[in-house]
Structure 1
Amino acid sequence: MTPIRAAVPTTEEARALLVGLRRAVDGERDAIAADLADDEPDAALLDLVAAPFASVADVDERLAKTESYLRERGDRRAVFLTVYSRMTATVRTAIDDGAFVDPEWTAAYLVAFAERYRRALVAFERRAFGSLPRPWLLAFAAAARGETLVAQDALLGINAHIAYDLTYALGDVGIDPDRGAKLEDHDRINAVLARLVQTAQDALVDAYGALGIAGIDAAFDPLDDRLALLGLTATREFAWRNAVLRADLPARLAERYVDWRTETVATGAAAVVLAPEFDAEAGRRLRDAETEGDAAGAFREAFGRLT
């Protein structure tokens, strides 16, 4: 892939860029800071995630502990971790089973990917909003405010981690030498992500069904359609194309363009997840179901059953 081809946005990326450019986040930083001014950082949570990840096993174990900790406290940031901790465990097993061309690179990639999430979580918990990427600011703030559906919490985290973090995780571990072999392993990880994200979507439908909402899958069409500004396959290709640009173009030019494009596209996708065009009746049914039952718990149970 030539740098020129990698730099040209697809139609879906262009749409997300337009939405992202219209999304004003600087003012939101101040509003979020004001909303959380009286909330003390959670020392126990920071103890779990303050230290950098040291290995695949460390990532697997601490993500699972963090998911349990947040879930037990009713913290909606656990919703994304339900998916992500399972993805990590699945990739860890695949590494142990020899499923990758370069298992050492894949292990480093998984750790670098998790590090991006860990840093974002720590920055938010310490209220260091100025250092937080915009897609994560929107995702974590939505969970903290409790104004979103479980479905939105899951998709916001997936978007921030895949559409934003994946680009930088690839940059952290490098795509050379043996770029072709690394692309194969990247694609294998992507296959795991694709399966688990689809399972997460199925689990969301099952979760609302368990709360007494039948046929609710149609209500998710606006989320599915609007998150498809990139689509998961295209988003993962987007990350690889960004990595190619960073590797092949002069550093200063590549970094400025990739940074702008990655954050703007991921912010645009987050914006549309936050503002789906729900049918009024469907939206009411979803919110009523979450008010009356444990939607996050039902989602976790359904996700565990389906995986």
Structure 2
Amino acid sequence: MTSSFAWEGDEHASLLTLSDIRTLGGLRDAASRVAAIADILAERRDPRGVFPLIYRIGLEAVAAAVEDGRFRDPDWVQTFDVAFAGRYLDNLHRHLCQARTTPPWAAANRHVDTDPAAIAGAVAAALNAHLISDLPEALHASSVRARHVFDYQTLSRLIWQTAPAAIAEIERRYGTDLSPLYYAPPLTWLDTALPGGVPDSQERLFHSITGLAFAQGLALANPLARPLIRAQIAAGSQTLIVAVDQLTRKLRPRSVRA
């Protein structure tokens, strides 16, 4: 627990309520909760708020796409995205209660504890927890099947297209330019973290990560393979945890405020 999260009163109570998945409803409820959490944290300039700023934009885009009829199986999309959001919310709730979180989220929180000024590092650590660990588990929880690949690819493209809006919102609320996180060349350590070597752009890197997560989510349905897949996920996450410091040094996002 950090001093920035040692809050009392209305803010702390609001965060606890918003992150309590026992009352979590559908996709719009998840998006609304993440947006409210982002606002509370951004008001305090807490680096933990940068990730929900990004995530809120993605969730709202997905909810709008569901309502516009862009998916073949909208019920599965909503089941998956609520499970995905629930993993973030539950880990936040546990952190607020000083309870045990998953190791990748514990690492993300430690990163903020030890270097609260490193916004890029905080985001990278949160994205590691979200994409490398939570994503395949949420796919598994949603009973993903091979037939869902079309909708999943639509989701991945849709999320990447929110990058400009996310960059602008982070700059507005935190005064930090994180465009290098999206557009800088991938780091050299990725050739040991991903099969097939280093993609030549962050966009291809994103789709490589989400593609691997889809395969892992499918494989988790097999009880015999499940321990091996979870060990693979944990190993990949640990590789990226170690690499977050390298990422922070490489990106060095420039402040646009004094």
TM superposition score category, shorter chain reference: 0.7 to 0.9
Give the structure 2 partner of residue 276 of structure 1.
247
Q: 1:238 aligns with which of 197, 202, 212?
A: 212
User: 1:278 and 1:67, CA in 2 relative to 1: closer, same or farther beyond 3 A?
Assistant: closer
Q: 2:18 aligns with which of 42, 45, 48?
A: 48
Give the structure 2 partner of residue 90 of structure 1.
61
Larger Rg: 1
Cα deviation, 1:147-206, whole Å, max 9, x if unaligned, reads 452222222222211111110111111124xx32x1111111111222234764x55997
Give the structure 1 partner of residue 30 of structure 2.
59
Larger helix proportion, structure 1 or 2?
1
Aligned partner of residue 83 in structure 1, secondary structure: helix
Distance of 2:130 and 2:188 partners within structure 1: 17
Deviation at 1:269, TM superposition (A): 1.3
Task: Give the letter for the 2:143 counterpart.
Answer: G
Task: Give the letter for the 1:126 counterpart.
Answer: C
Aligned partner of residue 70 in structure 2, secondary structure: coil
Alpha-carbon contact 1:227-1:273 (below 8 Å) kept = no
User: 1:45 and 1:146, CA in 2 relative to 1: closer, same or farther beyond 3 A?
Assistant: farther
Aligned partner of residue 249 in structure 2, secondary structure: coil
User: 1:246 and 1:70, CA in 2 relative to 1: closer, same or farther beyond 3 A?
Assistant: same
Alpha-carbon contact 1:226-1:276 (below 8 Å) kept = no
Q: Matched residues, percent identical?
A: 22
Give the structure 1 partner of residue 230 of structure 2.
259
User: 1:238 and 1:197, CA in 2 relative to 1: closer, same or farther beyond 3 A?
Assistant: farther
Deviation at 1:262, TM superposition (A): 0.9
Cα deviation, 1:8-30, whole Å, max 9, x if unaligned, reads xxxxxxxxxxxxxxxxxxxxxxx
Give the structure 2 partner of residue 6 of structure 1.
none
Distance of 1:114 and 1:272 partners within structure 2: 25
Gaps of 5+ in 1: 1-32, 294-307
User: 1:125 and 1:145, CA in 2 relative to 1: closer, same or farther beyond 3 A?
Assistant: farther
Q: 2:76 aligns with which of 105, 128, 145?
A: 105
Distance of 2:188 and 2:99 partners within structure 1: 30
Q: 1:190 aligns with which of 135, 156, 169?
A: 156
User: 1:148 and 1:43, CA in 2 relative to 1: closer, same or farther beyond 3 A?
Assistant: same
Distance of 2:85 and 2:248 partners within structure 1: 32
Task: Give the letter for the 2:161 counterpart.
Answer: R
State the TM-score, normalizing by the size of structure 2: 0.79
State the TM-score, normalizing by the size of structure 1: 0.67
Is 1:141 matched with 2:102?
no
Point out which structure has higher relative CO (alpha carbons under 8 A, 6+ apart): 1
Distance of 1:87 and 1:75 partners within structure 2: 20
Cα deviation, 1:245-300, whole Å, max 9, x if unaligned, reads 122x3x1x322112111122122113212233837xx85x85xx48x63xxxxxxx
Matches within 5 A, 1:101-250: 101-129=72-100, 132-176=101-145, 179-180=146-147, 182-197=148-163, 200=166, 203=168, 221=184, 224-225=186-187, 228=190, 229-230=193-194, 231-247=205-221, 249=222
Gaps of 5+ in 2: 195-204
User: Superposition RMSD on alpha carbons, in Å?
Assistant: 3.1
Alpha-carbon contact 2:132-2:213 (below 8 Å) kept = yes
Distance of 2:168 and 2:94 partners within structure 1: 29
Alpha-carbon contact 1:226-1:273 (below 8 Å) kept = no
Deviates more, 1:89-98 or 1:232-241: 232-241
Aligned partner of residue 92 in structure 2, secondary structure: helix
Aligned partner of residue 45 in structure 2, secondary structure: coil
Alpha-carbon contact 1:136-1:160 (below 8 Å) kept = yes
